[in-house]
A and B are shown apart, each in its own frame.
Chain A
Amino acid sequence: MLQKIINWVGIILSVLILIESWFLINMGLVGAYFFVVFVLIIIFFFILFFISKVRILERKEASLIDYFNKLKEDYEKTQDEKNKILTIINGLSDGILILDGNNVSNINYQAEQILDVNAKEILYKPISELERFPRTNLMVPLLSADAKNPFKKEVQATGDLLLDISVNPLVMGKNYIGKFIILRDITKMKMIEKTKADFIALSVHQLNTPLSSMKLSFEMLLGENFGKINKEQKAVIEKMRQRNKMLIYLVSDLLNLDKIESDSYFYHWSLVDAEELVTSLVSSSKEEIKKKKIKFVVETPKTKLPKMILDKEKISFALQNIIDNAIKYTPVRGRIGIFVTSNNKELKFEIQDSGMGVPQRDKEKLFVKFFRASNAVRTSIGSGLGLFISKSIVEGHDGKIWLESKENEGSTFYVSIPIKEIDPSL
């Protein structure tokens, strides 16, 4: 390149000298002088042009260098962040699997241990590769499922391994690019939970055994199955029966309270037909309502109620508790109405009664643990835990519970439960 430039400079100089010679010969010194000045001016402008180009190039070079330095800096920062994230992922006690599309792009140490696979065997391969391994072959349909919405499921991987698998979408902008899967070994935790639940159930059984004998014996004494009793004896035995009943409620409520307050109150989600839920609530209450000759009305929408993701046992318990309170605090020949409405977003229950109502000063505290309204304390037994437990369960379903009430006129309890999108894994 340099040689070419030198050659061209040489040729141009030779031509200029020839032209200068011609001017000198034909126009004399003056002509030659003007030619030289002309050539110098050309050279001057050429040098200026050259210098400006060089400066432009220098600036571009500087900004390119800056740009590359910044790129390098950003790359190093990204590598640092990536290494940080990888260190964190590898240090987690949960297993992590990251899928790029349907291929495994990342697996941490804990996931290798949980799944009993080597990263080399499955990295950058489709998730279906896990079908080859004994611990993972049953999980493949779940891990391959569409995860545009996150979902969670417990899976019995092998006889002695229970996993909680959470599948979450990986999104870049608006594009779905893969999945982020969290694997948690909950075998031990479930065992402890079951042991504790069994212990509590047995303890409740042991507490209820003498209480149920006492209940029956008080009822039989009052029924004069052991011979006639006088008024005073009847009154005392009735008080003993009521207090015994209170203990029975307390044992049951304490069992439920313990479950809610310890983390062992896991919700068992399933698809529940809301129509069936309402039917079972109504049929559970029939006997008591008949006894008190209460006018009972149930209204549901003309269109079929939806199927919803609920913990059927717990939500039934929560709603039944409110209905039982309505029955308890409504006098003989009173009125109770259950009104159920639904739209796309929520299922709503209104449980209305013509009972004693709640004093204004007690309304705020009604859902507080162990609190009982002042008028309820005077007239009936209870543990003060029922509404607290119902509220916890409704809120566990992301729902809301509230009431409107006027003392001596009645109360309306409202329960609203959101309708969630159906989990494809259920």
Chain B
Amino acid sequence: MAKNILIIEDDDFFRELVKKKFSSKELHVFEAIDGEKGIEAIKEKKPDLILLDLLLPNVDGFEVLVKIKSDPETSSIPVIILSNLGQQEDIERGLKLGAIDYLIKSQFDIDQVIEKIKNILEKSQ
């Protein structure tokens, strides 16, 4: 059965590229364009994994992460942060708030990330 990945990202082009690259028989990707819509989508669709940008309009990524992890219905959903905020304090904050990984957009290898996500989803079955 295909797994659902939610990408919460305000950059349209980046979001489209990730959706195209990740979408396959095994992975179904749906999107949210800001933090507020992201939270709604999480509650509605209960994705198997979330890719979360940090600098988002309305509600920022850190706040979204806090809301996900404080709600018992969503706290177990693995969250990978995908951001260009690369300061050590941001990375530490994200991981402390419960993200399982923090990837810098300008540096990550997309094929490796897809492999990583597949492993995470397999383990969580």
Chain A residues in the interface with B (C-beta under 8 A): 197, 201, 204-205, 208-209, 211-213, 215-217, 219-220, 223, 225, 248, 251-252, 287, 313
Contact = CB atoms under 8 A, between A and B. Distances in A.
Contacts of B55: 205
Given A208-B105, A209-B11, A225-B21, A216 B88 contact: no
Q: Classify the interface of chain A: helix, strand, loop or mixed.
A: helix
B21 A220 contact: yes
Given A205-B55, A208-B105, A220-B21, 15 more contacts: A197-B87, A201-B87, A204-B84, A205-B83, A208-B106, A209-B84, A209-B105, A212-B105, A213-B14, A216-B14, A217-B17, A219-B110, A220-B110, A248-B106, A251-B106
A205 B85 contact: yes
B95 to A, nearest CB: 14
Max count, chain A CB within 10 A of own CB: residue among B17, B18, B20, B55: B17
Interface of B: 11, 13-14, 17-18, 20-21, 55, 83-88, 105-107, 110-112
B85 A213 contact: no
Contacts of B18: 216
B116 to A, nearest CB: 11
A268 B106 CA distance: 26
Nearest to A251: B106
A36 to B, nearest CB: 112
A35 to B, nearest CB: 113
Nearest to B53: A209
Contacts of B88: 313
A211 B105 CA distance: 9
A220 B110 CA distance: 9
Contacts of A197: 87
A209 B106 CA distance: 8
B29 to A, nearest CB: 14
A216 B86 contact: no
18 contacts: A201-B85, A201-B87, A205-B83, A205-B85, A209-B84, A209-B105, A212-B14, A213-B11, A213-B17, A215-B106, A216-B105, A220-B17, A220-B20, A220-B110, A225-B20, A225-B21, A287-B112, A313-B88
